[in-house]
Structure 1
Amino acid sequence: MDHFNKNVGSVSDLVMQYFEGIHNGDIEKLEGVFHPQALVVGDVKGVEYFKTVGQYIEGVKSRKSPKELGETFKMEIVSIEIINQTATVKARVPIFGYNYYDLLSLAMVDGKWIIVNKLLTHVND
């Protein structure tokens, strides 16, 4: 059980870094939490969204961050499930007037957790 609790903390810490990267527009933080070959896939108000993590981070880099726009930090982890060296995280990411839900797939790579896939969708309130 201690091993599980340690992993939950490690996964939670990584997701908080991800949240901070998005909220603050911190590209280095985002590059540190994603595997370089990760994909970011989903839909935004019904429009398909399919990008490499490099394309996604470039988009974050070229926009004003939620922090710069004065948005309150409201991102939260909804659930974490860990099985061996893999984990899934369901997260709520309300930014830019959208109510995003992210489904993050994580793997233990070289002794640390990293996001290997991000699915996203917008849900109307």
Structure 2
Amino acid sequence: MTKEAVQKVVENYIEGTYTADTEMLKKVFHPSAIMTGYMGPDLMIATPTPFIEDVGSQPAMKDSGAPYKAEITHLVVTGNIAEATVYETGFFGDGTLEDHFHLIKDTEGQWKIVSKCFTTL
């Protein structure tokens, strides 16, 4: 059940990104989460808020005709921590990204993303 619970959080991240569901995206991240990575040559270090706002300000990828696909390529759970890798193609058109997530089971027993490290490929 634990691995399935972690997988569901990552799948909700993917679905929220695809459908521009900002409420779903807010629920998968821990309040103290951080996002770091590269969009092309630009280094970004922030909370998930700018990402969520950006996704919410654009037409949902499901409505844009973009061939967005995302696949969980790695998932490991160790006790109350987990890591997952997601490979995304068609991100707002032609973007290809690899995301590395760290998750933690919070004090209420819910899995949340605490960090996302990403890079465009």
Answer whether TM exceeds 0.5 for this pair: yes
In the comparison of the two structures, how many residue pairs are matched? 118
* One of 40, 45, 56 as aligned partner of 1:61: 56
Give the Cα–Cα distance (whole angstroms) in 1 for the partners of residues 55 and 68 of structure 2.
16
Q: Within 2, Cα distance between the matches of 1:46 and 1:107?
A: 30
1:76 to 56, 66, 71: 71
Of 49-58 and 21-30, deviating more is 49-58
More displaced 10-residue stretch of structure 1: 19-28 or 61-70: 61-70
Kindly state the Cα deviation for residue 80 of structure 1 after the two structures are TM-superposed. Answer: 0.5
Instruction: Please state whether the residue corresponding to 2:64 is helix, strand or coil.
Output: coil
Q: Which runs of 5+ in 1 are unaligned?
A: 1-5
User: CA offsets, 1:55-100, max 9 Å, x none?
Assistant: 2211111122211211234111000011110000011122121110
- Compute the TM-score of the two structures, normalised by the length of structure 2: 0.91
1:36 aligns with 2:31: yes
AA of the residue aligned to 2:72: I
What is the TM-score normalised by the length of structure 1? 0.88
Stretch deviating more after TM superposition (72-81 or 23-32): 72-81
User: Are 2:91 and 1:93 aligned?
Assistant: no
Q: Letter of the 1:107 partner, please give it.
A: I
Identify which of 18, 21, 24 aligns with 1:26: 21
Identity of aligned residues (%): 29
